[in-house]
Amino acid sequence: MPELPEVETVRRQLAPLIRGAAVINARSHLSAKFTSASDAIGYTIASIDRRGKYLLVGLTNTTLESQPSNRELIVHLGMTGALYVDHAWPDDPYCRASWDFADGRTLWFRDIRRFGRVAVVPTGDHRSLPTLHHLGPEPFDPTLDGPRFHRSIAASRRRVKTQLLSQRPIAGVGNIYADEALWRARIHPGARRVGLARASALLNELRAVLLEALDNGGTTLRDYRTPDRSEGRNQFHLDCYGRSGRPCRRCATPLISRELDQRTTTWCPLCQAH
DNA sequence: CGGGGTTCCTGGCCGC
DNA sequence: TGCGGCCAGGAACCCC
């Protein structure tokens, strides 16, 4: 379940491998989620950025006959997506898209459950990806402070956890790091009102959790791998996610798990009381 | 346009 | 050993 730390780890490994590569061919799974992969043919990879959980691969037009127009290859890893660069790859039923480079190498997008997505769009035109189009600030955006984060949260009466997962108050947070940060900030995930002080604390804990996970190379629960096929190490540092029934590391009360807005959520019933 | 519900996917695991 | 049932869950999509 790649969230910001996992996607950023992938970005850092991938960037030096594919920057400057010229895409000469592409193939994809027949699902519309992947078929636009071929729109990258004829373009050269100029940059590899990230917004939230989206990888943004900058493409420069290298064909002489058409008007210069730059595009963007957008990859969302979904739940089980992974990217690899290789000269060849044995038949893999889970390869959903691939791009052949002029130098003989190929970029492979493997995604067992097909929750991922590939899109090629005119640079900056994110209208076909509404969550990206309306994406909130990056966690380490210096203009994101306690008051701004609080205003964003307070503008809606939805549960605070649901708001975090919406990507609107802050970009890149998924189920794991939402539960972890709420636990650290001692905020009930179902709270519909969060004051300025607690919102500021939540922002601080989100930043800490994401930074630590990034330092640990991300969280590998099952499928997450980096382009060099290594696993993350942050799964050994989780305090809350996946620990339902086990004692809270602060107060020893057994953590509980419930479905909140169709999302499994774990929290401490004592530390994170309403 | 916000909010709520539905859907897409498949491997792993559990119980019988 | 085989198999049905269930679970994980981001974000597009649809409807009110």
A185 CA, C3 C1': Å apart? 44
Residue nearest to nucleotide B9 (CA to C1'): A113
Distance of CA A99 to CAs A39, A73, A89, A106, A115, Å?
Answer: 10, 11, 12, 5, 19
Q: Is residue A247 annotated as a catalytic residue, yes or no?
A: no
**Which residue bears the tokens 């991922």?**
A116
- Kindly report, residue by residue over A181-216, the tens digit of the pLDDT: 999 999 999 999 999 999 999 999 999 999 999 999
pLDDT(A176) > 80? yes
Q: Is residue A53 annotated as a catalytic residue, yes or no?
A: yes
Tell me: do A157 and A129 sit in the same domain: no
Tell me: do A118 and A214 sit in the same domain: no
A160 CA, B1 C1': Å apart? 20
pLDDT band at A274 (very low <50, low <70, confident <90, very high): confident
Range of the domain at A126: 4-133
Tell me: do A122 and A65 sit in the same domain: yes
Q: Does some domain include residue A184?
A: yes
If one counts the domains in chain A, the total is: 2
Tell me: do A127 and A154 sit in the same domain: no
Residue A160: what are its φ and ψ, rounded to 5°? Answer: -60, -40
Q: What is the mean pLDDT of residues A50-65?
A: 88
Residue nearest to nucleotide B12 (CA to C1'): A222
- Kindly report, residue by residue over A85-117, the tens digit of the pLDDT: 998 777 889 999 999 999 999 999 999 999 999
Query: Measured from the CB, is A172 under 7 Å from any atom of strand C?
Result: no
**DSSP 3-state of A150:** helix
Tell me: do A158 and A93 sit in the same domain: no
User: A78, A99, A133 — which closes off a domain?
Assistant: A133
Tell me: do A153 and A254 sit in the same domain: yes
pLDDT(A51) > 80? yes
pLDDT reported for residue A87: 82
pLDDT band at A77 (very low <50, low <70, confident <90, very high): very high
Q: Is residue A269 annotated as a catalytic residue, yes or no?
A: no
pLDDT reported for residue A234: 87
Q: What is the mean pLDDT of residues A141-156?
A: 96
pLDDT reported for residue A63: 67
Q: Does some domain include residue A49?
A: yes
Q: Does some domain include residue A123?
A: yes
Tell me: do A71 and A156 sit in the same domain: no
Q: Does some domain include residue A93?
A: yes
Q: pTM of the prediction?
A: 0.95
Q: What is the mean pLDDT of residues A10-38?
A: 96
> What percent of chain A has a predicted confidence (pLDDT) above 70?
98
Residue nearest to nucleotide B6 (CA to C1'): A262
Tell me: do A179 and A250 sit in the same domain: yes
CATH for A186: 1.10.8.50
A251 CA, B16 C1': Å apart? 39
pLDDT reported for residue A89: 76
Residue from A11, A33, A53, A117 carrying the catalytic annotation: A53
Protein-proximal positions, strand B, CB < 7 A:
2-12
Tell me: do A100 and A151 sit in the same domain: no
User: A78, A108, A133 — which closes off a domain?
Assistant: A133
Q: Does some domain include residue A140?
A: no
Query: Measured from the CB, is A168 under 7 Å from any atom of strand C?
Result: no
Query: Measured from the CB, is A112 under 7 Å from any atom of strand B?
Result: yes
- CA gap A220, A228 in Å, rounded: 14
CATH for A124: 3.20.190.10
- CA gap A7, A52 in Å, rounded: 8
Q: Is residue A184 annotated as a catalytic residue, yes or no?
A: no
- Kindly report, residue by residue over A232-251, the tens digit of the pLDDT: 988 899 999 999 999 999 99
